[in-house]
Structure 1
């Protein structure tokens, strides 16, 4: 029963009651609560690539995103605002008891409004029954993301030297880990 519930939750994360209350009582619901996640499909790529290109000097190509669809252990979601506008996306890989956040990105006009936190929490809940640990890397030049990861319970476990391409060379990556299995 639990696995069936997770499969249903993975298909669509949506709360119709919140949307109803937002229409009837607009001040009763925060805009971040109206965001919903759904599985990404090929038709979402133009919106996803637009966000990717706005956020990164060295963005993933369309081919990389298509590879994420083909990889059996990757799961890809988009985050939508009311009206079905894609405001972000996230990709996770789960294999051999470990999960890895491959990419998480929010459109610049929706940053700092809860979309990144909502997607990160979704990835954590997706990974929890499937893995013991969740890993990710982040650029030291991204303090907003670093702060979000720390607030969410991730801990720094190391540095990957020269991991990211950067203007004028390479940039290190800070490695983070989150234990998904409660300690006894």
Structure 2
């Protein structure tokens, strides 16, 4: 797959040997990255994680889960050196295609303060369905999450 900026991407499933590099990537872009055990859940089928590679280097990843006709985007990240090149759009597109056979809706939470991410999701056909008070840890305590959804039909 090629991004809108012409970057060639290869997607593959997370393997045990990838966890350290995925955690290092996430630590570059998240204030409160996931624990190792969260990524290990991707290896036993509770969650599903795909990596985006460019020239043999992991440049992003996406984690999803589905059950009962609903899907959830649990995590998505793009390396700072590859942001704003369409990698996130490609990862989200992959996630939608993987979840679509199992779910009619895809949900996610996003920090209320993350305006860039909210605008990205709105461009990608997500709409607001609610809020979760005090959902995310923050440097000053807790932060609310905006709940977004996208129809997959």
By the TM > 0.5 criterion, same fold?
Answer: yes
Matches within 5 A, 1:115-154: 115-154=87-126
- CA RMSD in angstroms comes to 1.5
Instruction: Decide which structure has greater strand share.
Output: 2
Answer yes or no: is 1:85 the counterpart of 2:57: yes
Matches within 5 A, 1:25-174: 30-32=5-7, 34-70=8-44, 72-82=45-55, 84-174=56-146
Larger Rg: 1
Give the match's secondary structure for 2:96. helix
Cα pair 1:159 1:175 within 8 Å, conserved: yes
Cα pair 2:14 2:42 within 8 Å, conserved: no
More relative contact order, 1 or 2 (CA 8 Å, 6+ apart)? 2
Give unmatched runs, 5+ long, in structure 2. Answer: none
What is the TM-score with the length of structure 1 in the denominator? 0.78
Instruction: Decide which structure has greater helix share.
Output: 1
Give unmatched runs, 5+ long, in structure 1. Answer: 1-14, 19-28
What is the TM-score with the length of structure 2 in the denominator? 0.93
Cα pair 1:73 1:95 within 8 Å, conserved: no
